[in-house]
Structure 1
Amino acid sequence: MIFKAVLLGLVEGITEFLPVSSTGHMIIVDNFLKLSKNMEFTNAFEIIIQLGAILSVIVYFWKELWPFSGSDEEKKDKWIMWSKVVVAVLPAVVLGLKFDKLIESKLFNAKVVATMLILYGIILIVLEIKNSKKKSFKINSIKEMGFVTAIGIGFFQCLAMVPGTSRSAATIIGGMLLGLNRAIAAEFSFFLAIPTMFGATLLKIVKSGVNFTSSEWGIIGVGFVVSFIVALIVIRWFMDYIKNKDFKIFGYYRIILGIIVLLVLKK
């Protein structure tokens, strides 16, 4: 079980902040490699190790996120940034509370994941082809982004409630459609992930309960640590990558993976 925990931690850490759908990958992996027969434990494991990925964002962007450091102007900018994040997270809070159970019961399966991987892979590629003709973007910093744009990105994030969509893909696509450049869209997506994922994780932990044995908590701890370390490495690489390259490669990856999953499921 330790090996499976490490593998799932790797999958979570690699995919959480890339536009490829971490939930989708976890569902696919679990479809072929069961962590445990205890579904309550498996669900809790997959939820809790997300906190490791969230922690990596906080560590990596600490200077940009901590509102009590820097000059008075920098502190003001950080508080305004956080207010935009709060506004952007509201749609997911409202719609998530209303439709979470319905979506989880009806849509959390490999076929839906594969379909969404392909669909949003195509959207990413088309969007990048369209953006390749642009010489500049309207918004080149979070400071320039208005509250209306922030809540617009929040509504795009709600698309990711369907597994296989990818929260980061939905928010990055939304940000770019609303005028953000690629790097700022990705950065705001990371910031928005903190309250969104933290709230969703705590909600599901409360609903599912955490009455596990010490060995089960040890397995969760392994996944958590692996997820944190890997996600931190991936974020560092991803932020360097998007300075000079686009998202088309992730679109192609999504389409190929989605097709493979659909073919395997037909057998």
Structure 2
Amino acid sequence: MDWLQTVILAIVEGITEYLPISSTGHMILTSAAMGIADDEFVKLYEVAIQLGAILAVVVLYWKKFFSFQQGWLQFYQKIILGVLPLLILGFLLHKEIEKLLGSPLVVGCTLFVGGIILLFVDKWFNKPEIDSVAKVDVFRALRIGFFQCLALLPGTSRSAATIVGGMQQKLTRAEAAEFSFFLAVPAMLAATGYDLLKKKDLLIGPGVGSDNLLKLAVGGFIAFLVAMAAIKLFINSLKKYGFKMWGVYRIIVGLLVFAAVYWGYLKA
């Protein structure tokens, strides 16, 4: 993976991490399209640069995370309960999930199916009752957490799964999106930390390329800057237009992936 590919993947991560279109799926497709070898460092890079996207949420919503006034304990309690199912299932299925990370065909299928679902969610859940994260009780947080587990399958989109889960639990679109962002912080931090610890030899071990660590740092910074802009744009578009256009986008990309695999441009 050269420096241009490093930067392109970081931009893709920053744009797609909080959109309901799957950042992991798009990075897999981008890597395949650029002919990047599916090696262990590339897999680590695609996970580790999420640290930049995590920081974007913490910076944009710093008052939620660091305002230790009345209700702060309940806020973190909901976040912990919401992320617990994903952490447990992700730990148990880590090896099986890694096997799917290089498969464009899996991504194409999940993008397509998820796109069809997004075409209808605005109609299915059109009577929200909760317009503030503070009103989300612990049981709703836990149920949304189970929706988040769907994102373990590459191409599903953690953002899409949790936002749909939030809307199913009567949250407005905007509040479901914000709660999804909050759940992303511990979920992505745990996944990134686990991968960095497990594959630390790729960064500091003998015979490791001297620029591996630098690539992670630069990629994370680029992902941070791009994610800051993407989050703001996504919230505004969600309030105005809902999910239909994201569903159409996913279906189109899914069909293009099927075509690329069929004609041999991408390996299944």
TM-score of the aligned structures, taking structure 1 as reference length: 0.92
In 2, distance between residues paired with 1:151 and 1:159?
Answer: 14
Contact 1:88 1:151 in 2 (8 A): yes
After the TM superposition, which of the residue ranges 217-226 and 20-29 deviates more from structure 2?
217-226
Contact 2:10 2:219 in 1 (8 A): yes
Deviation for aligned residue 1:143: 1.4
1:174 is aligned to 2:165: yes
Q: Where in structure 1 are there 5+ consecutive unaligned residues?
A: 69-74
Classify 1:217/1:38 alpha carbon distance in 2 versus 1 (closer, same or farther; 3 Å): farther
Classify 1:78/1:163 alpha carbon distance in 2 versus 1 (closer, same or farther; 3 Å): same
Q: Return structure 1 stretches of 4+ with deviation > 6 angstroms.
A: none
Listed one character per residue, the Cα deviations across residues 53-104 of structure 1 (whole Å, up to 9, x for unaligned) are 0011101111122133xxxxxx122221111000111101111111111122
Q: Which of 60, 79, 94 is matched with 1:100 structurally?
A: 94
Q: Which of 235, 244, 251 is matched with 2:240 structurally?
A: 244
Classify 1:170/1:38 alpha carbon distance in 2 versus 1 (closer, same or farther; 3 Å): closer
Contact 1:19 1:166 in 2 (8 A): yes
CA RMSD, aligned part only?
A: 1.5
Listed one character per residue, the Cα deviations across residues 119-167 of structure 1 (whole Å, up to 9, x for unaligned) are 1111111112334xx3x41211111111111000000000000000000
Deviation for aligned residue 1:49: 0.8
Contact 1:67 1:79 in 2 (8 A): no
| Aligned equivalent of 1:4 | 5
| Aligned equivalent of 2:266 | none
Contact 1:2 1:222 in 2 (8 A): no
Contact 1:114 1:258 in 2 (8 A): yes
- The DSSP-based 3-state class of the residue aligned with 2:120 is helix
Deviation for aligned residue 1:241: 2.1
Q: Which of 254, 260, 266 is matched with 1:264 structurally?
A: 260
Counterpart amino acid of residue 43 in structure 1: K
Counterpart amino acid of residue 49 in structure 1: I
In 1, distance between residues paired with 2:101 and 2:169?
Answer: 28
Contact 2:7 2:219 in 1 (8 A): yes
| Aligned equivalent of 2:44 | 44
| Aligned equivalent of 1:253 | 249
Q: Which of 109, 118, 124 is matched with 1:115 structurally?
A: 109
In 1, distance between residues paired with 2:183 and 2:156?
Answer: 16
Q: How does 1:173-212 map to 2 (within 5 A)?
A: 173-209=164-200, 210-211=203-204, 212=208
Q: How does 1:88-167 map to 2 (within 5 A)?
A: 88-106=82-100, 108-131=102-125, 134=126, 136-167=127-158
In 2, distance between residues paired with 1:166 and 1:227?
Answer: 17
After the TM superposition, which of the residue ranges 216-225 and 138-147 deviates more from structure 2?
216-225
Classify 1:29/1:137 alpha carbon distance in 2 versus 1 (closer, same or farther; 3 Å): same
Deviation for aligned residue 1:172: 0.4
Classify 1:30/1:148 alpha carbon distance in 2 versus 1 (closer, same or farther; 3 Å): same
- The DSSP-based 3-state class of the residue aligned with 2:131 is coil
| Aligned equivalent of 2:61 | 61
Contact 1:49 1:223 in 2 (8 A): yes
| Aligned equivalent of 2:14 | 13
Counterpart amino acid of residue 122 in structure 2: E
| Aligned equivalent of 1:71 | none
